[in-house]
Structure 1
Amino acid sequence: MKTLLCLITFAALSAWHVGAEQENVPSGNPGNACPIKMKNGGKCDEDGNCPYQITLPPMTLQLPKQWQLLEKTLKEVQSLKEIVNNLKKSCQDCKLQADENTEKENTEVTDGGQANQMQDLQSKMKKMSISLKNARTQINNLQDQMEKMSMNNVDDYIDRKIANLSSTLDNVNKCSDNCQAKEGITDIQIFFKDCSDYYKMGKRLSGIYQVMPDPRNKTFEVFCDMESMGGGWTVVQSRKDGRISFNRTWDEYKNGFGNLSGEFWLGNDRLHLLSKSSNMILRIELEDFKGIKEYATYDQFYVANEYLKYKLSVNGYSGTAGDALHFSKQYNHDQKFFTTPDKDNDRYPSGNCGAYYSSGWWFDACMSANLNGKYYEKEYKGVRNGIFWGTWQGVSDENLNSFRQAFKAVRMMIRPKDFSS
């Protein structure tokens, strides 16, 4: 009975561990276990298959070598199972890769459409760029042409158009359809453009004269200085006693105000006509209450018409008073528009320089010179709203609490640059 039990135990062990090459002792009580021995029982064949011997006291059994084949078969089955599992995994990877490729192909198709759209857009952008480049070239050419034209030519063109319209209206008003010129009557008139023409004709006395800078406009009166600095000067501004207020409107500065024998502003329209008729130089004369006299001369002086806001062009300084009209980048009166208390054309963003300083002038933001400021008979404090020339000696040291420089007399005069006495 004991032997039968050992055989059963051996059969069970053989199913789980076929081909063992050492002794196997079943689990359980060592005292009751049967001493089973299992070992190689003979020569192995060329394929490495060996017979086994199992010793079951008191017997020994010789097992055929096919028992080892069972073990090898089990191992091969296990190996095949692993191969099958690997193939399944590979197939899954293949499917995932295929899905990914399909999605990629769809994406490539979509991207291809977008690429075509991008090419179209790039083509359109290129055409637009060429068009803009051509337009820019045309604009640059126009700018070059405009730069070659002087401001005088532009103003002259505008003035000619205005004069032609005025002349047409005058003819309509004066003549009927059957109006005919009188025959046999010839009027010879000599026009004097400015005071220098009177000087050339032998006039040497300073005083009031009639001038006509443009034959298409009416004559007007000016004060001529025929004695100072070679004579022939047309005075366009004069300050000497403070009897005339220079806190005036745009229209008053346009048409002029004051007394030609005393204090006056000749008028911006007349300044334009005079400076357009010839290349003018400007001479400014100043005198303070200490009797100090200085002057500033500019080789170029031009005032544009009202359409261009009486823009000032002034350059070529020489003299003793200093170049206050080109004081700094912030305070530069050249190429500035005319501003009055009721018409703000200055560069000051927070207010009207004309209203603040109570005068009309070619303000910047706001000023380094203002010859139309309030007339003070002595030094004053507070806002610098008096006659001002920023390069006058001692002016730069002034502050809000100190006394301001006052001027006794100021004159602005113009004369053709080619004048010779």
Structure 2
Amino acid sequence: MDFVHLFSITGDAQIQGLESITSQLNRSDSAEMKTLICLTTLFILAAVHAGTEEESALGEKVGNSCSIRMKNGGKCDEDGNCPYQINLPSMTIQLPKQFQLLEKTIKEVQSLKEIVNALKKSCQDCKLQADDTPEKDNGQQNPESTNGDQDNNIHELQSKVKKMSISLKNARNQINSLQEQLGKMSPINMNTIEQYVDTKMINLSFALNNLDNKCSSNCPVLEANPSIQLLYKDCSDYYKIGKKVDGRYRVTPDEKNKTFEVYCDMESMGGGWTVVQIRKDGSTSFNRTWNEYKNGFGNLTGEFWLGNDKLHLLTKSTDMILRIELEDFKGNREYAKYDQFYVANEYLKYRLTIGGYSGTAGDALHFSKQYNHDQKFFTTPDKDNDRYPSGNCGSYYSSGWWFDACMSANLNGKYYKNDYKGVRNGIFWGTWTGVSDEHLNSYRQTFKFVKMMIRPKSFRP
């Protein structure tokens, strides 16, 4: 360390002498030489200190200003080097405040040196471990070759991803095109396809039954003039032959399937109507299971649901119109007629196709985008096929119906004889007069009479 810059010493000669001595001290490798130089330096400092006191205390003698004494320490050697002994007086030097900071800085530098040395050692250890790791003799290529292969693999993967992206884009375009084509297809075309599939399945079932029932021996000779049985597909066929009285009749919409009984309305609006549902006194509960709605329930002369399987058979091969008649307890009577009505089979969850509204009750089956019952599946309390994501509309409204999410119409709701509050689980038609004015705590609209009936679109009374 250069001590010259830490003291304030006046006099150019004195400063130059100190710089010379310090330089010798920094270059010296001998301990004895360093000691001698240090003593000399102290001697000069003492002299400077004494000279300073002399200048500040005028009138004092020179001998009194310097108390350093040098005396012979022994005989001189052959080379003329004589030993001398210097006696230095006690001397107090006051150092500035910067020396405290200098000491603190020196400690911090020493700590940093230790940290740097530790890091160097760690790096050397890592390098030794890397050098000691043996290369695998399994045909591994050098790093440059490996990097080249990796670059090639990356390029290949990028190329594959690009091709897949193009394929995905083409697939999306094809899907969009198919969706547009599907959207252009009318429900009638879809119904025709379903009817074709149903026909093929029926033909197969019929052929199997014939094989099972095939005679094991020669069948008896058939009569020469076998009787021909006339099949009545729906109530309009009975009306055409003069049967114009309301009542129960047997129909066979499809000769490959069984005959079943229906209730025919031969008087309303030209007659020939096959009734599929009636509500009039609340004697029959419509809170039923999927299988009950599938097969039908109730009493044909009272309240009933004809059955989804029967609805499918009646509408699959003949274009039907649907007429709905409603009456409230105030005596208001309205109707809604739809020129298109079709119910798909069970495999398609008895999906409803409804359209071509006319009437006075309002088109509640096409109320809005959110509440549109067209092309909706049938839902019951035990089978959820609706579009409501948080639950089962059939369970919530205690009935089976073609719910959306959930409904703007439900003719299979609970039969209430008086106004009620709470959940709108009763018979409901969303476009009925006054229904739009209802709020959460108000009384609900109730209906005294509801009837759903169908007839071929081509029927003429």
2:308 is the alignment partner of 1:281:
no
Check whether the contact 1:368–1:389 (CA below 8 A) recurs between aligned residues: yes
Measured after TM superposition, the shift of residue 174 of structure 1 is: 1.9
Check whether the contact 2:413–2:427 (CA below 8 A) recurs between aligned residues: yes
CA distance in 2, matches of 1:255, 1:329: 31
AA aligned to 2:351 is: K
CA distance in 1, matches of 2:331, 2:450: 12
Secondary structure (helix, strand or coil) at the match of 1:314 reads strand
Check whether the contact 2:387–2:405 (CA below 8 A) recurs between aligned residues: yes
Secondary structure (helix, strand or coil) at the match of 1:318 reads strand
CA distance in 2, matches of 1:139, 1:171: 44
Check whether the contact 2:312–2:350 (CA below 8 A) recurs between aligned residues: yes
AA aligned to 1:361 is: W
CA, structure 1 residues 127+258, in 2 after alignment: closer, same or farther (shift >3 Å)?
same
CA, structure 1 residues 125+382, in 2 after alignment: closer, same or farther (shift >3 Å)?
closer
Structure 1 residues 187-196 or 280-289, which shifts more?
Answer: 187-196
Measured after TM superposition, the shift of residue 395 of structure 1 is: 1.0
Of 172, 177, 196, the match for 1:157: 196
CA distance in 1, matches of 2:159, 2:295: 60
Residue of structure 2 equivalent to 1:320 = 360
CA distance in 2, matches of 1:163, 1:377: 44
Residue of structure 1 equivalent to 2:380 = 340
Residue of structure 1 equivalent to 2:347 = 307
How does the TM-score come out when normalised to structure 2? 0.63
Q: Deviation string for 1:61-83 (max 9, x for gaps)? A: xxxxxxxxxxxxxxxxxxxxxxx
Of 224, 237, 249, the match for 1:209: 249
Percentage identity across paired residues of the two chains = 72
Residue of structure 1 equivalent to 2:288 = 248
Check whether the contact 2:373–2:402 (CA below 8 A) recurs between aligned residues: yes
Check whether the contact 1:193–1:277 (CA below 8 A) recurs between aligned residues: no
AA aligned to 1:257 is: F
How does the TM-score come out when normalised to structure 1? 0.68
Residue of structure 2 equivalent to 1:298 = 338
AA aligned to 1:175 is: K
CA distance in 2, matches of 1:394, 1:377: 18
Check whether the contact 2:195–2:317 (CA below 8 A) recurs between aligned residues: no
Residue of structure 2 equivalent to 1:186 = 226
Secondary structure (helix, strand or coil) at the match of 1:164 reads helix
AA aligned to 2:412 is: N
AA aligned to 1:391 is: T
Measured after TM superposition, the shift of residue 302 of structure 1 is: 0.6
CA distance in 1, matches of 2:217, 2:252: 31
Residue of structure 1 equivalent to 2:459 = 419
CA distance in 2, matches of 1:110, 1:311: 62
CA distance in 2, matches of 1:408, 1:275: 28
CA, structure 1 residues 166+179, in 2 after alignment: closer, same or farther (shift >3 Å)?
farther
AA aligned to 1:223 is: Y
AA aligned to 1:326 is: H
Measured after TM superposition, the shift of residue 132 of structure 1 is: 4.8
Residue of structure 2 equivalent to 1:8 = none
2:205 is the alignment partner of 1:166:
yes
Residue of structure 2 equivalent to 1:272 = 312
2:200 is the alignment partner of 1:175:
no
Of 398, 408, 414, the match for 1:374: 414
CA distance in 2, matches of 1:399, 1:179: 75
2:277 is the alignment partner of 1:234:
no
Residue of structure 1 equivalent to 2:237 = 197
Q: How many residue pairs were aligned?
A: 316
Measured after TM superposition, the shift of residue 337 of structure 1 is: 0.6
Q: CA RMSD in A?
A: 2.8
Unaligned runs of 5+ in 1: 1-108
Q: Deviation string for 1:116-157 (max 9, x for gaps)? A: 767655654565456556656765676647964822223223
Check whether the contact 2:315–2:341 (CA below 8 A) recurs between aligned residues: yes
Secondary structure (helix, strand or coil) at the match of 1:411 reads strand
Measured after TM superposition, the shift of residue 244 of structure 1 is: 0.7
Measured after TM superposition, the shift of residue 354 of structure 1 is: 0.8
Measured after TM superposition, the shift of residue 176 of structure 1 is: 3.7
Of 349, 353, 357, the match for 2:389: 349
Measured after TM superposition, the shift of residue 316 of structure 1 is: 1.2
Check whether the contact 2:320–2:339 (CA below 8 A) recurs between aligned residues: yes
CA, structure 1 residues 394+128, in 2 after alignment: closer, same or farther (shift >3 Å)?
same
Unaligned runs of 5+ in 2: 1-144
CA, structure 1 residues 124+238, in 2 after alignment: closer, same or farther (shift >3 Å)?
same
CA, structure 1 residues 376+145, in 2 after alignment: closer, same or farther (shift >3 Å)?
closer
Measured after TM superposition, the shift of residue 291 of structure 1 is: 0.7
